[in-house]
Every structure is written in structure tokens, then in C-alpha cells.
Chain A
Amino acid sequence: MSFLPYVVAVWVCMVGLYGIVTSRHLIHTIVCLSVVQSSTYVLLLAIGYREGGAAPVFIDIPRNTPAVDPVVQALTLTDVVVGGAVTALLLAIAVQLEKHLNTLDPDELDPLRD
């Protein structure tokens, strides 16, 4: 049981990669990349978890209450922000690609075309 969250992280990562490899549409590819990235959230938060720990917010609980790790949570926040930035940029590239090539099927993109 104590290993399960790591299995989930690997599983989410693999599912996302599978989606990217078999993708027929670039928007779908971008969403799959977000799925791959979500696996890092699972991993980071799992590392910071501790049995019975409270949320690391000490406004209405005593300050010495055992709490989960705030550092990995802050790192996850960074991860989410970077993920949002990457997704936005990739979507913008997809918009322009569709305009130029009239397709969003990765299989129809030929590196040697024009």
C-alpha cells in the first residue's frame, strides 16, 4: 500500500505518453502532455505526505501539529504554473500551424514540406 502513490504517478505518466504517441490531433497531444505533467504533481505531493498530517496552515490549529511538507506543495505550485505556460504556448503554436498547413493531424506534418 505504501508504494501505491508512486505506481499511480508512473501510471499517469505512461497513460499520457501513450496518448502522445497515438495522438491524431495536436490539441489532443497537448492535453496528453498536461496529463504527463500531472504525474509529477502526484509524485511531489506523495513525497510530502505524512501519516495523519494536517495541511500546513497553522491559522486554526496549534503550531506544533504534525503537518505535511509545505516545500513540495510550493514546488507543485511552480509545476502547475509552468504547466499552464507550456500549454498556452503549445496551443498558440497549434493555432498558427493550423493556419499554415490546414491540418492538426501530426501524421500529416511533413518536416520537409516547404
Chain B
Amino acid sequence: MSDRPAPARRPGELSFEGRRRLFLAGAAVLGGLMLWGLGGLPDFDSFTPLYGQVINHVGVQETSATAAVSAVNFDYRGFDTLGEEFILFAAVLVLALLLRRLGEEHTTPLRKDPRRAHTTSAAVRLTCYMLVGPTVLLAIYITGHGHLTPGGGFQGGVIAATALLLVYLGSDYPTMQRLRPLSLVETAKAGGALGFVLIGLGGLIASGSYLQNFLPLGEPGELVAAGTIPLLSIAVGIEVSGGFVLLLSEFLDQLLVIKRKRDTAA
């Protein structure tokens, strides 16, 4: 990367070395200021923010969720998670917009992808197929047990999307396309986002405040417990897995399906 000759400089432009020196000078100042600022924080292992400690003490009792991080994400700061979910939602939407087929491009019909058939060895294929099932199971487990153990919808959703990537790695793109009908994926993504909003509205109707945990809490440590927390986690899981599948598909489309006219003409 760096052994290529530097492009010709325009008049008044800083040389690569000059830019590096300028950065090092600036970084010394910025880093010093950051260290100085962080020096004002309490010592590393003695700081106990009260908010977190209170949640650690009353969280299990109040929400029946034994994983305090999930209790924070889907209950105490559930509204933040709503925003976070929609950041991801908007990002995937914009990504689909950016990676659409442009006017000068056209889609090539997918043949049995010759590039992969030769490069994927039988061992890789077998390993991928064997891993797909356990990966999906792990995704469901991580999502469904979010209120009990570390995990939740965000983590589980990403794992679910990687299962599809395993299918692509082990076979070819047409096979992967058959396994992810895009309309279904888009519906899942939108439905997951909508589910979160509706569960929040349920709290508003049942208890008077948005995202209030309005369902029976049950016993801490049970799979069906903690009221709306596992439901919100599942909604997020569906949305995130749909979003990531869409994201992967868009990038793979760019690589394999969408071609510039002049590329194929040549």
C-alpha cells in the first residue's frame, strides 16, 4: 500500500511527510490534553458510579432480569435502545439506497457461480454446512436468554445473520439467495422495529408511561420472566438479523450481480 509512489502534489499541498509531522505535533497536544482531562477522573478501580450500583442492587428485584445489562438496555434505558435500534434501521436503509443499481449499471443474470465452485474445498463446504444449524441455535439462545445471561437481541441478531454468510461461504450466491427471500427479510427488519415500538405503546396504554414493563415479572432466573424485556430483546433480534442479512446481501450484490456496462462490454 505504502510503496506506491505518492500522487503528484497540487500547488500548496502538504507533502506526506509534512502532514505526518503536523499530525504528530497536534496529536502530542491533543493526547496531552486528553490525558490531563482523564487524570481528573477517579482512580481506575475505585470509581463506583452510583447509578450502576443502584441498578445492581435493585435491578433483579425490580425487573426479574438477572442480566443487569439487559435490564438497563430494555427497561431502565429502553427509550435509548429504541433510538439505537432506529439508528441501525436508518443506516441499513441508507446503505440500501447507496448501493442501489445506478443508471449506468445493469444486473447480470447469476449463473451457477463459477468463481466459488472452484475455490471452495469440500472440507470448507462440509464445515460450513455443519456450522449453520448450531449457529442459528446459538442465535436463538443468545436472543431468548438475554434477560438471564449475557446476550440479547443485538448480539443474537448478528449471529443469526452470520449463519447465512456461512451458507454463502459453503455454497454459492444463488443458494444463499434462495434462503433469504428479500421481501421476507425486509418485513422481518421492519416488523422487529415496529414490534419494539408497539411493546412500548403497550406500556403506555397499560401503565401510563412509554416502555413501562407492564407484563407479569415472574421469578428471576426463569426463562419466561422479566415481563417485556425478553419480548423487546426478541424484537430487536429479528430487526438486527434482518438488517444485517440485508446489509450483507447489498455488499454481495455489488460484488457479484451489479456490473458496470463498460465492464461487461469489454
Contacts and interface: CB of A to CB of B under 8 A. Distances in A.
Interface string B194-219: 00000000000000000000000000
Contact of A2 (B1, B43, B53, B98): B43
Contacts of B68: 56-58, 67, 70
Given A2-B45, A6-B44, A85 B150 contact: no
Contacts of B61: 63
B72 A71 contact: yes
B123 interface: no
Given A3-B43, A14-B31, A69 B67 contact: no
A74 B73 contact: yes
Interface string A52-96: 000111110001100111111110011011101110110111011
B44 A48 contact: no
A24 B55 contact: no
Contacts of A5: 44
Interface in B115-153: 148-150, 152
Contact count band on B: 35 or more
Contacts of B254: 95
A73 B84 contact: no
A78 B80 contact: yes
A108 interface: yes
B104 to A, nearest CB: 9
A43 B31 CA distance: 14
B91 A58 contact: no
Q: Classify chain A: how many residues form its interface, as a range.
A: 35 or more
B18 to A, nearest CB: 11
A6 B41 contact: yes
25 contacts: A2-B44, A6-B35, A10-B31, A13-B34, A24-B1, A28-B1, A48-B49, A49-B45, A50-B46, A56-B67, A59-B66, A69-B48, A69-B49, A69-B52, A70-B52, A70-B56, A71-B72, A78-B80, A78-B81, A84-B88, A88-B91, A88-B95, A89-B98, A92-B99, A99-B102
Given A21-B19, A69-B51, 17 more contacts: A6-B41, A18-B27, A21-B23, A22-B23, A24-B1, A25-B1, A56-B52, A57-B66, A67-B56, A67-B68, A71-B72, A73-B72, A74-B69, A81-B84, A85-B87, A89-B94, A92-B250
Interface of A: 1-7, 9-10, 13-14, 17-18, 21-22, 24-25, 28, 43, 46-51, 55-59, 63-64, 67-74, 77-78, 80-82, 84-86, 88-89, 91-93, 95-96, 99, 105, 107-108, 110
Interface of B: 1-2, 4, 6-7, 10, 16, 19-20, 23-24, 27, 30-31, 34-35, 38-39, 41, 43-49, 51-53, 55-57, 59-61, 66-69, 71-73, 77, 80-81, 84, 87-88, 91-92, 94-95, 98-99, 102, 148-150, 152, 154, 220-221, 247, 250-251, 254, 260
